[in-house]
Amino acid sequence: MIEFIIATYGTICWLVFKKFKLVAVTTYSVVTAFLIGVFMIGFILIMMNMYQPVSKDGRILAYTTAVVPWVKGRVTEVPVQPNVPLKKGDVLFRIDATPYQAAFDSLQARLGLAQTRLGQEQELLSQGAGQQYEVERYQADVDQLSAELADARFNLEQTTITAPTDGFVTQLTLRPGVMAVPLPFKPVMVFVHSDKPVFAVTFKQNVLQAIDEGDEAEIAFPAIPGRVFKGHVIQVLPMLGEGQLQASGTLLQFSLPQRPGRVPIEIEIDDDLSEYNLPIGSVATVAIYTGEFRVTNIVRRIILRMKSWENYLFID
């Protein structure tokens, strides 16, 4: 960036002093030109960084769900294929249902017996040969077994894990024989929802006051060299991760972080990207053009396009 500005100013000085000789080359004129250049370049850089900020931290994001089974057991079947679109309710994988089916059948048999005994006691009570206590006892047994059967039915149903919404599974490593356990920190696969991906970028906090919703943005993807896409600011997210308070058994420590948190900003890309292969997680360089010091817009636009052309040459 600074190299481009210096080269442009150097070209102007060469035209003025050498090519057209509009100004005589003297110590005074050279020093004056140098000081003017330093002041002008510094002013342009400061204003451009503040009011036409740029960030290399743009990224395509998608909503995902870490799939954790409700019940534990050995995986018996994984019919899903990675990166293939799924509908809500499609089977992701199945867990061995043998112990859950046995528990369900046992409770169902016990409930049937309890219901039979309850009916018998009610019949005896209606004929004056039974006791109210026995009817209430068997009624309690029926209610308890009904609740346990409902829980057993739920556990049995949870041995078949299905897609929560439309979407797909990616980087699938789950295979039959794996022991799946209901631990939140040990998911067995990641489900990517079909919701429209979000494009977000983070900026340093010193540019926050200049950025407003609706400001124009331009995006350059390393995956698409030589192209710059149009967009606009949707919102400046109202909270940073560093500002959250969570219930804890320890007191807060207000020590300054080594690096201040960056401000997340959501960008809407106006151009159509459907013809390009951009995996979720692709990065981009993003420039935002605010309503202040618009004279520096052209410099930022030129620099961003130069960076985009550089993507043809520089590979990580």
* Shared domain check, 108 and 45: no
Number of domains in the chain: 3
CA dihedral 163, 166, 172, 174 (to 10 degrees): 0
Q: What pLDDT score was predicted for residue 226?
A: 92
Q: Which residue has the higher pLDDT, 278 or 118?
A: 278
Say whether both 216 and 303 belong to one domain: yes
Q: Are residues 58 and 154 in the same domain?
A: no
Residues 116 and 187 grouped into a single domain? yes
Looking at the fold, whether 232 and 310 belong to one and the same domain comes out as: yes
pLDDT at 257: 62
Tens digit of each residue's pLDDT (9 = 90 or more) over 190-248: 999 999 999 999 999 999 899 999 999 999 999 999 999 999 999 999 888 878 888 88
Beta-carbon neighbour count of residue 232 at 10 Å?
15
Shared domain check, 159 and 12 = no
104 falls in which pLDDT band (50, 70, 90)? very high
Same domain assignment for residues 79 and 184: yes
Q: State the helix-helix crossing angle for 27-51 and 2-14, rounded to 10 degrees.
A: 150
Q: Is the domain of 223 the same as that of 187?
A: no
**Boundary-marking domain end, from 14, 30, 51:** 51
Contacts of 230 (CB under 8 A, 6+ apart): 216, 217, 218, 219, 269, 270, 271
Domain at 260, CATH number = 2.40.30.170
Identify residue 217 by its one-letter amino acid code: A
Q: Domain holding 95: CATH number?
A: 2.40.50.100
Could you read off the pLDDT of 259-308 as tens digits, one per residue?
778 899 999 999 999 899 999 999 999 999 998 888 888 889 988 998 89
Burial status of residue 204 (CB atoms within 10 A of its CB: 0-12, 13-18, 19 or more): middle
Which range is least confidently modeled, 84-93, 97-106, 130-139? 130-139
Check pLDDT > 60 for residue 315. no
Same domain, 288 and 188: no
Residues 53/287, Cβ–Cβ less than 8 Å: yes
Considering the domain architecture, whether residues 58 and 38 belong to the same structural domain is answered as: no
* Greatest Cα-to-Cα distance within the chain, rounded to the nearest angstrom: 128
pTM: 0.79
* Helix H or strand E encompassing 162: strand 160-162
Nearest one of 108, 100, 103 to 160, comparing CA atoms: 100
Clarify whether residues 129 and 208 are in a common domain.
no
Same domain, 169 and 82: yes
**Structural domain span for residue 312:** 54-62+197-243+252-316
